[in-house]
Chains A and B, each alone.
Chain A
Amino acid sequence: MRFLSSLAALAVTALVATGAVAAPDKPECLAGAKPGGGFDLTCRLAAETLLSTGAISKPMAVNYMEGGVGATAYNHVIGSRNNDANLIVAASSGSALLISQGKFGKYDENAVRWLGAIGADYGVLAVAADSPIQDLKGLIDAYKANPADFPVGGGGAVGSQDWMKLALIAQQAGVAPKEMRYAALEGGGAVLTALQGGHVKIASGDASEMWQHHLAGKIRILAVLADERLPGDMSELPTAKEQGFDISWPIWRGFYVGPNVSDADYNWWVDAFKKLVDTPEFQAARQDRGLFPYNKIGADYDAQVKADVARFKQLAKEAGL
């Protein structure tokens, strides 16, 4: 199969004039999970578009290192590939959350060089289609009225992003996050079936995954946890902010490189991504993968990651973790 992919790469590079000079000679993207997950998607988005726009001339290999939602990869890169300029590693706001909770082992957010985020998804809160609850205020009133019998669910353990989103809602309803009747389900699919089957009353999830089910009339999205309405068809979904609740939950997707990668190499990648996100090829590919524009590259991104880690620490404290 390798010769096939090389052939494809050759065909593509023949079409696009290769301009980059200091491009990495063996570009590689590491996904800290199984093929098919979010990290894989992030890597493939970069690999495909960096090549098709001519930023790199050799195809970028996508490799997988499963373990601890990126924890194994984080430790591996810091431990044994900390100066490899060829290697970028996929990360998400979930990585920042885990780092803030000390779940990436002995390393904190300062242990790598944060490169840039190139897209985002946004948290949503949803109820079953036949639920009497119509908006966020109705949800919080219903929760307030009957806090002892209000099962909720999300696709992660206590302390995960899905749990955090619901904890923010519970706090609005005057329910301590500890008292939530929260089922930690296995991923977004299980959340959707639990919601449709009436096993939970509210579910938290991500916009791109839940949207199609909202469209199909299976569930109703009450609020998008974004500062502004999402583009395109999804603009019909109200934000939490406009309903009077200042809750925002972007799930960005980006990359980091090893801590000892030189400034020159780091800057090469920063420039490459800055150029990449403005190309129509990239924008089309990003949309295909259900991600929204979210470009924070270089110093901006570094600041964002560190701000997120601080915010998550604060949230965890408030939630009593």
Chain B
Amino acid sequence: MSLDYLWTGFETALIWYNLLFGLAGCFLGTIVGALPAIGPINGIALLLPLLYTFGVPAESTLIMLAGIYYGAEYGGRISSILINVPGDAGAVMTALDGNPLARQGKAAEALAISGLSSFTGGILAVIGLAIFAPLLGKIAIGFGPAEYFVLMVFAFATLGSMVGDQPVKTLIGCAIGLMGATMGIDPTSGAYRFTFDVPELNDGIEFIVLVIGLFSVSEVLTMLEHTHHGTLQPIKVNKGFPSWSLIKFCIPSTLRASVIGFIVGVLPGTGASVSSAIAYTTEKRLLDSKGTFGKGDFRGLAAPEAANNAAAGGAFVPMLTLGVPGSGTTAVMLGALMLYNIQPGPQLFVEHPELGGGLIASMFIGNILLLLMNLPMVQLFVRILQIPNWLLIPGILVLSFLGIYSTYQDVFSIYLMLGIGVLGYLARKAGFDLAPIILGFVLGKVAETNLRNALALSGGELGILFSSTICIILWVMAAAIAVMPFYIKRRQRKQAEAEARAGTA
């Protein structure tokens, strides 16, 4: 496929009013992304009928929607880092190292580094989308239930990295997360599992309710405890821009995570939360020899941010090549295109080059706009940390309540969130990490459903899990990531011994 459509696209996207639409989209997207439980779907659902009613042309609409879409990915990290409340599903892993960094007085660097890695992930994904989309479309088709299950095996293999100094507690956390994911209507048999005849529980625990409960409520209780003991350290706010050596330090992680995020994002059955989880645990597995991940390691911040932005780009691959949405948000965008009587798919680039190219070009430009918008705004964002606690903490609570309430229109979800928050606080007190719970929850549903679908298709034959090339490759990768740290450690030891010998010689 020639890339002529891209030039047509750039010409379209660079028209002044389209740039304005893009900028407005980026701005709105950043806001909805930063607000917990409110996401790009809300922004798009809000604007779409409006744009349609006013007869805004399709390419301008699409450019604005792409701005919202990417803006939300940038916005989610802000609340994760500053107040330890993830702004959206993809930003959960960002909080693990991002918030400790903010507490150490490195909020500005953390925001800047995560902004840069978001940008890298986003741009690489757009380039990947422009060049490899048709090829990747074929890979996405190759993923059936068996392949998704083995992908989850790979993900669990990277989880070995989470086993810290208290392996039993980590495993317990993971098991609890997996158990939480079984609640609700079983997607395979339709059975009701642990719903207690409460219709609100039919869909199980929503990810965002779990995350806000675990992070924000338990965070507020922990702060209350510190205030009570008078041990609350005021957070220092520096205004520094990250040094070049710090940026260089994060580059390998960012690049690896971008690739992982993009590929996982391409698969319609997995999204931003799975991709950032796999990217984070992979980096931890590969690099965390000193146990700094989770305590404020810049690489642990850069990786999930690069991954979730790359996944956001990857999610467009199935939409543009197959006409099948790669995520909930792209599903809404697909609906938007259909409203304009445009059917996405490979013929999009032939029939409407200004649209297909315009979309890719606007994602490219959108990322640049977002970086330009976000870097100077770091100084503004870090001021949030200077808001006194008596104003900020009620604000965090109100925001958490509102995010949940406006999604479900229902106080039951708030009760559920509060309950989860209390359990999360007690778990923290008892020395459990929250990350394994989240990881178990994210990966559990995908793993169970796909294993059972695979076995349903094969009539119970386990052979289906080894039947395709993709499966075999994933099994090999899973085995490799499981043993890799041991290998790296041995090599490092040998190297150290060799150096020691060389030193004495």
Are the C-beta atoms of A193 and B347 separated by less than 8 Å? no
Q: CB < 8 Å: which of A35, A69, A189, A192 contacts B41?
A: A35
Q: CB < 8 Å: which of A41, A183, A190, A216 contacts B457?
A: A183
A265 interface residue per 8 A CB criterion: no
Interface string of B69-90 (1 = CB under 8 A from A): 0000000000000000000000
Q: CB < 8 Å: which of A8, A67, A182 contacts B54?
A: A8
A212 interface residue per 8 A CB criterion: yes
Are the C-beta atoms of A196 and B322 separated by less than 8 Å? yes
A160 interface residue per 8 A CB criterion: yes
A-B interface contact total, Cβ < 8 Å: 152
Q: CA separation between A75 and B409, bound complex, in Å?
A: 13
Interface string of B175-202 (1 = CB under 8 A from A): 0000000000111111010000101101
A181 interface residue per 8 A CB criterion: yes
Q: CA separation between A309 and B343, bound complex, in Å?
A: 35
Are the C-beta atoms of A193 and B268 separated by less than 8 Å? yes
Q: CA separation between A241 and B332, bound complex, in Å?
A: 34
Nearest Cβ distance between residue A14 and chain B, in whole angstroms? Answer: 14
A68 interface residue per 8 A CB criterion: yes
Closest to B340 in A: A288
Are the C-beta atoms of A183 and B453 separated by less than 8 Å? yes
Nearest Cβ distance between residue A132 and chain B, in whole angstroms? Answer: 19
Closest to A182 in B: B456
Nearest Cβ distance between residue A154 and chain B, in whole angstroms? Answer: 11
Query: Which residues of the partner chain B approach A64 to less than 8 Å between Cβ atoms?
Result: 407, 409
Are the C-beta atoms of A67 and B408 separated by less than 8 Å? yes
Query: Which residues of the partner chain A approach B53 to less than 8 Å between Cβ atoms?
Result: 8, 12, 48
Q: CA separation between A267 and B453, bound complex, in Å?
A: 47
Are the C-beta atoms of B41 and A34 separated by less than 8 Å? yes
Q: CA separation between A36 and B46, bound complex, in Å?
A: 11
Closest to A5 in B: B50
Nearest Cβ distance between residue A37 and chain B, in whole angstroms? Answer: 8
Are the C-beta atoms of B318 and A193 separated by less than 8 Å? yes
Chain A residues numbered 194-219 whose CB sits less than 8 Å from any CB in chain B: 194, 196-197, 199-200, 212-213, 216, 218
Are the C-beta atoms of A158 and B331 separated by less than 8 Å? no
Interface size class of A (residues with CB under 8 A): 35 or more
Query: Which residues of the partner chain B approach A218 to less than 8 Å between Cβ atoms?
Result: 322
Q: CA separation between A288 and B52, bound complex, in Å?
A: 12
Interface string of A37-69 (1 = CB under 8 A from B): 000110010001000000000000001111111
Q: CB < 8 Å: which of B187, B410, B458 contacts A186?
A: B187
Are the C-beta atoms of B185 and A68 separated by less than 8 Å? yes
A148 interface residue per 8 A CB criterion: yes
Are the C-beta atoms of B409 and A63 separated by less than 8 Å? yes
Please judge, given known A-B contacts A35-B45, A212-B343, whether A71 and B409 are in contact too, CB under 8 Å: no
Nearest Cβ distance between residue A33 and chain B, in whole angstroms? Answer: 10
B164 interface residue per 8 A CB criterion: no
Q: CA separation between A216 and B343, bound complex, in Å?
A: 10
Known: A65-B410, A184-B187, A213-B345. 17 other contacts (CB 8 A): A4-B50, A8-B50, A64-B409, A66-B203, A66-B407, A72-B202, A75-B199, A105-B197, A149-B459, A151-B457, A157-B190, A185-B453, A189-B318, A197-B142, A200-B457, A212-B323, A216-B346
Q: What would be 11 A-B contacts, judged by CB atoms less than 8 Å apart? A: A8-B53, A35-B41, A44-B49, A67-B410, A68-B185, A71-B202, A72-B199, A193-B141, A193-B322, A194-B144, A197-B141
